[in-house]
Amino acid sequence: MKQHNTERLSALADGELKGLSRWLAQRHVRHCPQCAAELQRVERVRQTLAACPPIIEMSDSADFFWSKVKRDITTREPQTVFIPVPRLSLADWLLVHRGALATATSGLMVALLTGVMLQQPHSAGPGTVLVERVDTVIPNTVATPLKGAESDVAVIWVSGLEWTADLDEMKQRFENSET
Protein backbone atom coordinates (compact mmCIF):
# COMPACT_ATOMS: atom_id res chain seq x y z
CA MET A 1 0.00 0.00 0.00
CA LYS A 2 2.16 2.81 -1.29
CA GLN A 3 -0.44 5.56 -0.94
CA HIS A 4 -2.92 6.34 1.81
CA ASN A 5 -5.63 3.98 0.62
CA THR A 6 -8.05 4.50 3.49
CA GLU A 7 -10.69 2.24 1.96
CA ARG A 8 -8.35 -0.66 2.51
CA LEU A 9 -8.01 0.29 6.16
CA SER A 10 -11.67 -0.57 6.68
CA ALA A 11 -11.06 -3.93 5.05
CA LEU A 12 -7.98 -4.41 7.22
CA ALA A 13 -9.99 -3.67 10.37
CA ASP A 14 -12.63 -6.16 9.21
CA GLY A 15 -10.04 -8.88 8.62
CA GLU A 16 -10.93 -8.97 4.94
CA LEU A 17 -7.41 -8.53 3.62
CA LYS A 18 -5.45 -11.72 3.21
CA GLY A 19 -1.89 -12.69 2.45
CA LEU A 20 0.30 -10.17 0.73
CA SER A 21 -2.27 -7.37 0.66
CA ARG A 22 -2.76 -7.66 4.43
CA TRP A 23 0.97 -7.68 5.02
CA LEU A 24 1.46 -4.60 2.82
CA ALA A 25 -1.38 -2.75 4.53
CA GLN A 26 -0.08 -3.60 8.01
CA ARG A 27 3.42 -2.56 7.00
CA HIS A 28 2.13 0.75 5.65
CA VAL A 29 0.17 1.40 8.86
CA ARG A 30 3.27 0.75 10.96
CA HIS A 31 5.16 3.45 9.07
CA CYS A 32 2.37 5.96 8.45
CA PRO A 33 1.00 7.83 11.49
CA GLN A 34 -1.84 9.25 9.43
CA CYS A 35 -3.15 5.83 8.44
CA ALA A 36 -2.50 4.42 11.91
CA ALA A 37 -4.72 7.15 13.36
CA GLU A 38 -7.36 6.48 10.71
CA LEU A 39 -7.30 2.77 11.53
CA GLN A 40 -7.81 3.59 15.20
CA ARG A 41 -10.81 5.75 14.35
CA VAL A 42 -12.32 2.93 12.27
CA GLU A 43 -11.75 0.53 15.17
CA ARG A 44 -13.43 2.92 17.59
CA VAL A 45 -16.52 3.18 15.39
CA ARG A 46 -16.66 -0.59 15.14
CA GLN A 47 -16.29 -1.03 18.89
CA THR A 48 -18.97 1.57 19.63
CA LEU A 49 -21.43 -0.13 17.31
CA ALA A 50 -20.56 -3.57 18.69
CA ALA A 51 -21.03 -2.37 22.27
CA CYS A 52 -24.65 -1.49 21.63
CA PRO A 53 -26.18 -3.99 19.23
CA PRO A 54 -29.83 -3.40 18.57
CA ILE A 55 -32.13 -5.52 20.70
CA ILE A 56 -34.58 -6.75 18.17
CA GLU A 57 -37.32 -9.28 18.59
CA MET A 58 -40.41 -9.44 16.50
CA SER A 59 -43.45 -8.79 18.65
CA ASP A 60 -45.54 -11.27 16.66
CA SER A 61 -45.40 -14.82 17.95
CA ALA A 62 -44.05 -17.49 15.61
CA ASP A 63 -47.51 -18.98 15.00
CA PHE A 64 -49.18 -15.64 14.45
CA PHE A 65 -46.53 -14.47 12.02
CA TRP A 66 -46.66 -17.72 10.05
CA SER A 67 -50.46 -17.56 9.92
CA LYS A 68 -50.21 -14.08 8.40
CA VAL A 69 -47.64 -15.22 5.84
CA LYS A 70 -49.72 -18.30 4.99
CA ARG A 71 -52.85 -16.19 4.58
CA ASP A 72 -51.02 -13.87 2.20
CA ILE A 73 -49.65 -16.78 0.21
CA THR A 74 -53.05 -18.43 -0.19
CA THR A 75 -55.09 -15.29 -0.84
CA ARG A 76 -52.82 -13.83 -3.47
CA GLU A 77 -52.95 -14.92 -7.07
CA PRO A 78 -50.74 -17.97 -7.41
CA GLN A 79 -47.72 -16.82 -9.32
CA THR A 80 -44.13 -17.82 -9.70
CA VAL A 81 -41.60 -15.07 -9.28
CA PHE A 82 -38.02 -15.43 -10.41
CA ILE A 83 -35.51 -14.10 -7.94
CA PRO A 84 -31.96 -14.88 -9.02
CA VAL A 85 -29.71 -16.67 -6.61
CA PRO A 86 -27.15 -14.14 -5.39
CA ARG A 87 -23.78 -14.71 -7.00
CA LEU A 88 -20.43 -13.01 -6.90
CA SER A 89 -18.98 -11.45 -10.02
CA LEU A 90 -16.19 -13.44 -11.68
CA ALA A 91 -13.53 -11.04 -10.36
CA ASP A 92 -14.84 -11.34 -6.81
CA TRP A 93 -15.21 -15.11 -7.13
CA LEU A 94 -11.56 -15.35 -8.16
CA LEU A 95 -10.61 -13.07 -5.27
CA VAL A 96 -12.50 -15.15 -2.72
CA HIS A 97 -11.17 -18.45 -4.01
CA ARG A 98 -7.63 -17.27 -4.74
CA GLY A 99 -6.14 -19.55 -2.08
CA ALA A 100 -7.79 -22.65 -3.48
CA LEU A 101 -6.89 -21.60 -7.02
CA ALA A 102 -3.24 -21.09 -6.09
CA THR A 103 -3.13 -24.52 -4.45
CA ALA A 104 -4.78 -26.18 -7.45
CA THR A 105 -2.42 -24.42 -9.87
CA SER A 106 0.63 -25.44 -7.84
CA GLY A 107 -0.58 -29.05 -7.72
CA LEU A 108 -1.13 -29.04 -11.47
CA MET A 109 2.35 -27.65 -12.08
CA VAL A 110 3.94 -30.29 -9.85
CA ALA A 111 1.98 -33.04 -11.61
CA LEU A 112 3.04 -31.73 -15.04
CA LEU A 113 6.70 -31.46 -14.04
CA THR A 114 6.65 -34.95 -12.56
CA GLY A 115 5.10 -36.28 -15.75
CA VAL A 116 7.73 -34.59 -17.91
CA MET A 117 10.54 -35.95 -15.76
CA LEU A 118 9.11 -39.47 -15.89
CA GLN A 119 8.94 -39.28 -19.69
CA GLN A 120 12.71 -38.74 -20.04
CA PRO A 121 14.84 -41.91 -20.70
CA HIS A 122 16.89 -43.28 -17.89
CA SER A 123 20.63 -43.00 -18.17
CA ALA A 124 22.47 -45.88 -16.65
CA GLY A 125 25.18 -45.20 -14.15
CA PRO A 126 28.77 -45.90 -15.08
CA GLY A 127 29.85 -49.54 -14.93
CA THR A 128 26.34 -50.93 -14.69
CA VAL A 129 25.84 -52.26 -18.23
CA LEU A 130 25.45 -55.89 -18.87
CA VAL A 131 27.75 -56.98 -21.68
CA GLU A 132 26.17 -60.01 -23.18
CA ARG A 133 28.83 -60.96 -25.67
CA VAL A 134 32.47 -60.10 -26.02
CA ASP A 135 34.31 -61.08 -29.19
CA THR A 136 38.01 -61.46 -28.64
CA VAL A 137 40.63 -63.57 -30.22
CA ILE A 138 43.00 -63.36 -27.31
CA PRO A 139 42.74 -66.32 -25.02
CA ASN A 140 42.47 -65.74 -21.26
CA THR A 141 41.59 -62.04 -21.58
CA VAL A 142 39.00 -60.21 -19.48
CA ALA A 143 36.72 -57.66 -21.15
CA THR A 144 35.49 -54.69 -19.15
CA PRO A 145 32.99 -52.06 -20.38
CA LEU A 146 34.43 -48.59 -20.31
CA LYS A 147 31.35 -46.43 -20.81
CA GLY A 148 27.98 -46.15 -19.17
CA ALA A 149 25.09 -47.08 -21.39
CA GLU A 150 25.23 -50.22 -23.40
CA SER A 151 24.54 -48.36 -26.63
CA ASP A 152 27.47 -46.09 -25.85
CA VAL A 153 29.99 -48.84 -25.38
CA ALA A 154 32.46 -48.26 -28.17
CA VAL A 155 35.61 -49.65 -26.70
CA ILE A 156 36.20 -52.80 -24.83
CA TRP A 157 39.28 -52.70 -22.77
CA VAL A 158 41.30 -55.77 -23.25
CA SER A 159 43.47 -56.43 -20.29
CA GLY A 160 47.12 -56.21 -20.97
CA LEU A 161 46.75 -53.30 -23.36
CA GLU A 162 47.62 -49.76 -22.44
CA TRP A 163 44.52 -47.55 -22.49
CA THR A 164 43.96 -44.83 -25.06
CA ALA A 165 40.77 -43.00 -25.93
CA ASP A 166 41.46 -43.23 -29.65
CA LEU A 167 39.68 -46.30 -30.99
CA ASP A 168 41.88 -46.66 -34.07
CA GLU A 169 44.99 -46.50 -32.04
CA MET A 170 43.55 -49.05 -29.67
CA LYS A 171 42.89 -51.37 -32.61
CA GLN A 172 46.42 -50.82 -33.80
CA ARG A 173 47.82 -51.68 -30.40
CA PHE A 174 45.65 -54.75 -30.29
CA GLU A 175 46.92 -55.92 -33.69
CA ASN A 176 50.46 -55.21 -32.61
CA SER A 177 49.98 -57.24 -29.45
CA GLU A 178 48.68 -60.15 -31.55
CA THR A 179 51.71 -60.14 -33.70
For 171, counting Cβ atoms within 10 Å of its Cβ (0-12 exposed, 13-18 middle, 19+ buried), the class is exposed
Q: Which stretch binds other proteins (CB under 8 A): 29-37, 45-53, 122-130, 134-142?
A: 45-53
Q: How far is the CB of 57 from other proteins (least distance, A)?
A: 6
CA angle 34, 1, 22 (to 5 degrees): 100
3-class secondary-structure state, position 34:
helix
Q: Would you count residue 20 as binding other proteins (CB under 8 A)?
A: no
Among 56, 100, 130, 137, binds other proteins (CB under 8 A): 56
Please say which residue, 92 or 150, places its beta carbon nearer to other proteins.
92
Among 36, 95, 101, 112, binds other proteins (CB under 8 A): 95
> What's the alpha-carbon Rg for the chain, to the nearest Å?
40
Which residues, at least 6 apart from 69, have a Cβ–Cβ distance to it below 8 Å?
none
Among 36, 45, 102, 110, binds other proteins (CB under 8 A): 45
Alpha carbon 152 to its chain's center: 39
Task: Catalog residues that contact other proteins under the rule CB under 8 A.
Answer: 6-11, 14, 16, 41-42, 44-46, 48-60, 62, 65-66, 68-70, 72-73, 76, 79-89, 91-92, 95-96
